Amino acid sequence: MREIVYIETSFVSLLVADPSRDLSIAGNQQVTRDWWQLRRESFVCVTSDETLREASLGNERQAHLRLEKLAGMAALPISTAAVELAAQFLATGSLPPAARADAVHLAVATLAEADYLLTWNCRHLANAQILRRLEREAARRGWVLPNVCTPLELMGDSPYENENRPDF
């Protein structure tokens, strides 16, 4: 059985964004596109109504491109249980109140028993300090969080993995 990857908004935003002149962002864009082309088929990719809502905001052309990439992917609903779990994540104090949407992404992915939550949101989601606190809380309450990671961390056994790697 293939592992489940929850696709969060920041991932799909970088996937379709116009090329950036910022070298760091441009590198992240390339890794995102590489993951989409080389690794996506190795997983069952899902998203949520929250991702679709966020993806529809902003620049009309970019919103259209984001929604086009998400089309055909299972969109998980924001259930009452997901809203309650997101509130519990926020209540831990690990995430600020302004990160409600991020808590919803994590809650939906957790309840869907996703193996991974794929994101470029390193402020609130792919953040080792926040995840460490949430994982401790999760263990106390019987939750199993998905592995929250960036596309670079989920490149796996692709040809990309060994490209330009120095020998140590």
Ordered DSSP codes for 124-135? TTS-HHHHHHHH
Token look-up 């592995």 returns 147
Average pLDDT, the chain: 92
pLDDT digits (tens, 9 = 90+) for 60-102: 999 999 999 999 999 999 999 999 999 999 999 999 999 999 9
Give 136's pLDDT tier (boundaries 50, 70, 90): confident
Q: What is the mean pLDDT of residues 50-59?
A: 97
3-state secondary structure 153-168: HHCCCCHHHHCCCCCC
CATH domain 4-158 topology: Rossmann fold (3.40.50)
**Per the confidence metrics, is the pTM higher than 0.85?**
yes
Q: What is the mean pLDDT of residues 5-19?
A: 97
3-state secondary structure 3-71: CEEEECHHHHHHHHCCCCCCHHHHHHHHHHHHHHHHCHHHCEEEEEHHHHHHHCCCCHHHHHHHHHHHC
Q: 116, 146 in Cβ contact below 8 A? A: yes
